[in-house]
């Protein structure tokens, strides 16, 4: 048995001791009087926990902690609940934000902040005229504000003076009125009757304001709060912790409305955009989703650090999120709206199905000067390829379908009986063979003789452009531009379409490459108004395969499937890939005949060319060619052969006189340059020494003046006169001999 003195050193209070009765084994069973003990058997650990004050304190603290956690979670849940946020937004945030909006408007109206913003914008844009305008407006506004402040300073004295004069005048008027009333009624009390009436009216107004002023105050306050609420809701941006978190639907709709677009952008996987969504970014819809043609069009302003280029890079993911194929989604950036995502989403499958038949497949004719149908755009609308004053640059890897566009252009051109067509294919293929009966020339192959033939055509094109320009100048008119009337009257001015397919073989040729690039640029720049349309077609879209600047010179640029963005920009123009106008996502063999094109409309866009077939068992080209031949026969037009001048046909003296024109003299190098442009086949190899020797034979040798050798126009005319006189004399001598 343990007693209290045994544990006096422990300092712990022991439990109550119960004495149990003893049992004698020899005793017989008998009732025992003892205290009944009720309890529960526990282990030593449980006993220590139940009896230790430290353990009990720890348990209490854990209970407190649990209660705090529960209360905190409940508070957080209530505070972040959408209903709580909605109440805070509508009851507090919108009116407070409206105060800020109203204050900013008042500050802009009564301050110079707006003028300073405009001046900074004009200075950043380098617009000195606008900068001066806003500076003058700022000075005028400050002067007006100063005058207004001075008026306010003078206003109290003027108000008091005006009030005194007004009160005296009113009192005098009322007194006179009272005297008149008193004279009329004979009652002296009527003298002050008008004044009493005014006093009673003032008393009524005071009573009304005191009695019903609270309602007026409440009504005015409610109207003011409603105004602030409206301004805050419409024009203010809520902080992220208050912004509405509209949960996107779990299902995905095929209609790319605003909700579907935001959901697709939210899951795009671009860090800055994801961070903007987490911070509560609310988009500003420049143009809401609208149904246009066979798809949907939307414009929205992207957040900071999210350029359109990054969205365009992830077009595949964006298309997947919108339940589309990459070819059916086109995110671009408008040229005049930086930072705006212009999103076009086509209907599912609309860009992978067959294109409508070519409109001129079975009937009809064309006009070179108005254009021909060649394709449809992403909206399903007809695209017309202009020919007059236009040139084409077409590129795409093998199997992308670039020939379909060229064939549509040529078939459309030949349905105008006036048009002559020449084709140089620097490879062996049969794409143009069905059109051969209507072509003026068709040269195929990549041998040296074919390269030489293409070079001869280029050189003669340079001379023909100059010749056509002179003819147009002689014809006069308001503008030196070919018209259908001129082309019908003068066979020399018939429209021409010249195709150079696989042109990279020409531009990369070791011997003729540099000259070909120079001539191609020269002809492309000058041929526009003379009725010569050039088509440059190549599978290699890079700087080495194309002349520098030809994409800037060509009016129509078409990129079918391209391997990289450098090739894309070489065709469509610098920076087009970054702006979202890219053909790198097109797949050869799948997106056949689909291309990104510039020049057909105000902005670049996707086109799908018509497909006129020529395959086993189906020939759609030959009937069109036969119809074109019949149209030419009906018009009584016979095919002409290209005129290739040689040295025997050329007249250098007459050509020099034509080059000089009305100028009294010209430097020899300039004369050689103009001669080469006039007839490159004859004069491109001429040197200053050869020119001098030739002119010396005709007593018109160049002379040095102003530090350079010059050719005299007077000497050239004298030489021509003398030669013509000698020719006439020789003719007379022959006649006498006869």
Q: Which residues pair with 710 in a beta bridge?
A: 667, 703
DSSP, res 299 = E
pLDDT at 270 > cutoff 70: yes
- Residues β-bridged to residue 300: 285, 341
DSSP state string for 186-213: --GGGGGHHHHHHHHHHHHHHHHHHHHH
> How far is 395 from 561, CA to CA, in rounded Å?
8
For residues 252 and 324, the answer to whether their CB atoms sit within 8 Å is no
Query: Tell me, what's the pLDDT at 38?
Result: 67
When comparing pLDDT for 272 and 128, which is higher?
272
Burial of residue 200 (number of CB atoms within 10 Å: 0-12, 13-18, 19+) = exposed
Q: Domain 372-614 class? A: alpha beta
Q: What pLDDT sits at residue 126?
A: 67
The whole-number pLDDT of residue 632 equals 93
Residues 48-86: tens digit of each pLDDT: 666 666 667 777 788 888 888 888 888 877 777 777 777
Three-state secondary structure along 679-735?
Answer: CHHHHCCCCHHHHHHHHHHCCCCCEEECCEEEEEHHHHHHHHHHHHHHHHHHHHHHH
Residue 425 has a pLDDT of 95
Higher pLDDT, 75 or 597: 597
**pLDDT at residue 555, rounded to an integer:** 93
Which helix (H) or strand (E) segment holds residue 672: the answer is helix 668-678
Confidence of residue 393 (pLDDT cuts 50, 70, 90): very high
**Beta pairing class for 420-425 and 496-501:** parallel
What is the per-residue pLDDT for 7?
47
pLDDT in tens, 359-385: 999 999 999 999 999 999 877 889 999
Mean pLDDT of 316-338: 87
Q: Say how far apart CA 298 and CA 582 lie, in whole Å.
A: 19
pLDDT for 645: 47
User: Angle at Cα 305 formed by Cα 303 and Cα 311, nearest 5°?
Assistant: 75
User: For the chain, what percent of residues have pLDDT higher than 90?
Assistant: 23
pTM of the model: 0.55
Residue pair 530/472 in contact by the 8 Å Cβ criterion: yes
| pLDDT confidence of residue 4 | 46
Please tell me the predicted confidence (pLDDT) of residue 386: 95
CB 13 within 8 A of CB 51: no
**DSSP-derived secondary structure letter, 20:** P
CA distance 373 to 354: 17
Distance CA 464, CA 698 (A): 27
Region 579-594 average pLDDT: 86
Structure confidence at residue 245 (pLDDT): 56
Q: In the predicted model, what is the mean pLDDT of residues 158-184?
A: 85
pLDDT average, residue stretch 229-250: 64
Q: Whole-number mean pLDDT of the chain?
A: 82
State the SS3 of 68-97.
HHHHHHHHHHHHHCHHHHHHHHHHHHHHHH
What pLDDT is recorded for position 10?
47
- What pLDDT, on the 0 to 100 scale, is given for residue 3? 47
- Per-residue pLDDT reduced to its tens digit, 484-526: 999 998 888 999 999 999 999 999 999 888 888 888 998 998 8
How would you classify residue 589: left for phi > 0, otherwise alpha for psi between -120 and 50, otherwise beta?
A: left
Is 652-737 a domain of CATH 3.40.1350?
no
What residue ranges of the chain are covered by domains with CATH 3.40.50.300?
372-614
Q: For the ranges 205-214, 645-654, 692-701, which has the lowest average pLDDT?
A: 645-654
Which of the four pLDDT bands, split at 50, 70 and 90, describes residue 210?
confident
Residue 731 backbone dihedrals phi, psi, to 5 degrees: -65, -40
Structure token pair of residue 259: 């909700």
139-166 tens-digit pLDDT: 888 888 888 888 888 888 888 888 889 8
pLDDT at residue 8 greater than cutoff 70? no
Please, are residues 610 and 404 in contact by the beta-carbon 8 Å criterion?
Answer: yes
Distance (Å, whole) CA 537 – CA 595: 14
Distance CA 227, CA 102 (A): 9
Q: Which residue from 373, 335, 394, 363 is spatially nearest to 570, judged by alpha carbons?
A: 394
Report which of residues 235 and 438 the model is more confident about: 438
Please give the pLDDT value at position 14.
55
Taking residue 348's Cβ as centre, other Cβ atoms within 10 Å add up to 14
What is the model's pLDDT at position 590? 86
Give span(s): CATH 3.30.980, the chain.
258-346
Reading the block at residue 694, the tokens are 């030739």
CATH fold group of domain 258-346: 3.30.980
User: What are 281-322's pLDDT values in tens digits?
Assistant: 888 888 888 888 788 899 999 988 899 989 988 888 999 999
* CA 207 from centroid of its chain's CA atoms: 66
Q: Which residues of 60-79 are buried (b: 16+ CB within 10 A; e: fewer)?
A: eeeeeeeeeeeeeeeeeeee
- Quote the pLDDT of residue 501: 95
Q: Which residue has the higher pLDDT, 3 or 30?
A: 30
Q: Does residue 502 contact residue 539 with C-beta atoms inside 8 Å?
A: yes
- Residue 338 DSSP SS3: coil
SS3 492: helix
Map tokens 């408008």 to a residue. Answer: 334
Q: Where is pLDDT greater, at 376 or 242? A: 376
Q: Is residue 124 packed enough to be buried (19+ CB in 10 Å), middle (13-18) or exposed (0-12)? A: exposed
What is the rounded distance in angstroms from the CA atom of residue 166 to the CA atom of residue 708?
A: 94
Helix (H) or strand (E) holding 171: helix 128-185
Enumerate the CATH 1.10.10 domain ranges in the chain, comma separated: 652-737
Residue 328: which residues within 8 A CB-CB, separation 6 or more? Answer: 295, 319, 345, 346, 347, 348, 349, 350, 351, 352
């Amino acid at each position: 048995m343990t007693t209290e003195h045994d544990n006096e050193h422990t300092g712990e209070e022991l439990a109550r001791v119960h004495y149990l009765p003893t049992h004698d084994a020899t005793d017989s069973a008998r009732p025992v009087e003892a205290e009944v003990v009720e309890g529960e058997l526990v282990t030593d650990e449980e006993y220590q926990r139940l009896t230790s004050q430290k353990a009990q304190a720890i348990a209490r603290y854990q209970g407190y902690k649990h209660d705090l956690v529960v209360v905190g979670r409940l508070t957080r849940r209530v505070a972040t609940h959408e209903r709580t946020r909605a109440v805070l937004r509508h009851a507090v945030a919108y009116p407070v934000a409206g105060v800020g909006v109203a204050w900013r408007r008042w500050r802009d109206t009564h301050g110079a902040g707006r003028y300073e913003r405009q001046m900074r914008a004009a200075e950043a844009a380098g617009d000195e005229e606008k900068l001066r305008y806003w500076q003058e407006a700022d000075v005028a506004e400050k002067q007006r504000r100063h005058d207004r402040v001075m008026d306010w300073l003078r206003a109290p004295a003027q108000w008091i003076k005006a009030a005194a004069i007004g009160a005296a005048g009113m009192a005098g008027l009322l007194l006179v009125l009272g005297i008149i009333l008193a004279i009329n009624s004979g009652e002296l009390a009527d003298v002050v009757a008008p004044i009493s009436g005014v006093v009673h009216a003032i008393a009524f107004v005071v009573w009304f304001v005191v009695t019903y002023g609270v309602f007026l105050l409440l009504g005015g306050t409610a109207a003011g709060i409603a105004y602030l609420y409206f301004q805050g809701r419409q024009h203010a941006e809520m902080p992220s912790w208050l912004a509405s978190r509209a949960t996107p639907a779990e299902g995905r709709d095929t209609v790319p409305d605003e909700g579907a677009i935001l959901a697709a952008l939210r899951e795009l996987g671009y860090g800055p955009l994801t961070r903007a969504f987490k911070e509560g970014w609310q988009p500003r819809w420049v143009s809401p989703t609208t149904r246009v043609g066979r798809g949907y069009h939307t414009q929205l302003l992207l957040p900071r650090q999210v350029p359109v280029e990054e969205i365009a890079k992830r077009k595949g993911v964006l298309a997947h999120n919108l339940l589309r194929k990459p070819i059916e989604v086109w995110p671009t950036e408008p040229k005049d709206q930086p930072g705006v995502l212009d999103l076009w989403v086509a209907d599912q499958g609309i860009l992978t199905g067959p294109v409508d038949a070519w409109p001129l497949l079975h009937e009809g004719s064309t006009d070179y000067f108005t254009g021909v149908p060649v394709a449809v755009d992403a909206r399903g609308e007809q695209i017309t390829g202009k020919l007059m004053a236009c040139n084409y640059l077409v590129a795409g890897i093998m199997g992308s379908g670039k020939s379909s566009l060229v064939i549509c252009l040529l078939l459309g051109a030949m349905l105008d009986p006036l048009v002559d067509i020449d084709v140089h294919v620097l490879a062996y293929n049969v794409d143009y063979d069905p059109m051969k009966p209507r072509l003026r020339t068709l040269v195929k192959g990549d041998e040296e003789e074919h390269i030489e033939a293409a070079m001869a055509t280029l050189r003669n094109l340079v001379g023909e452009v100059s010749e056509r320009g002179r003819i147009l100048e002689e014809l006069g008119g308001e503008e030196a531009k070919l018209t259908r009337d001129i082309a019908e009257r003068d066979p020399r001015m018939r429209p021409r379409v010249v195709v150079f397919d696989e042109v990279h073989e020409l531009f990369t040729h070791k011997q003729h490459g540099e000259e070909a690039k120079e001539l191609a640029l020269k002809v492309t720049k000058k041929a526009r108004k003379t009725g010569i349309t050039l088509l440059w077609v190549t599978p290699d879209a890079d700087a080495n395969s194309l002349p520098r600047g030809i994409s800037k010179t060509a009016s129509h640029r078409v990129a079918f499937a391209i391997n990289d963005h450098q090739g894309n920009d070489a065709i469509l123009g610098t920076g087009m890939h970054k702006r979202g106008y890219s053909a790198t996502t097109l797949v050869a063999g799948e997106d056949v005949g689909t291309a990104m094109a510039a020049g057909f409309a105000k902005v670049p866009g996707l086109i799908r060319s018509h497909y006129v077939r020529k395959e086993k068992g189906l020939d759609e080209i030959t009937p069109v060619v036969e119809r074109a031949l019949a149209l030419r026969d009906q018009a009584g037009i016979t095919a002409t052969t290209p005129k290739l001048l040689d040295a025997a046909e050329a007249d250098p003296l007459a050509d020099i006189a034509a080059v000089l024109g009305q100028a009294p003299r010209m430097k020899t190098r300039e004369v050689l340059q103009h001669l080469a442009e006039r007839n490159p086949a004859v004069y491109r190899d001429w040197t200053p020494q050869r020119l001098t020797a030739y002119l010396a034979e005709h007593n018109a040798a160049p002379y040095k003046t102003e530090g350079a050798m010059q050719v005299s126009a007077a000497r050239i005319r004298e030489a021509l006169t003398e030669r013509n006189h000698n020719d006439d004399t020789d003719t007379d001598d022959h006649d006498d001999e006869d």
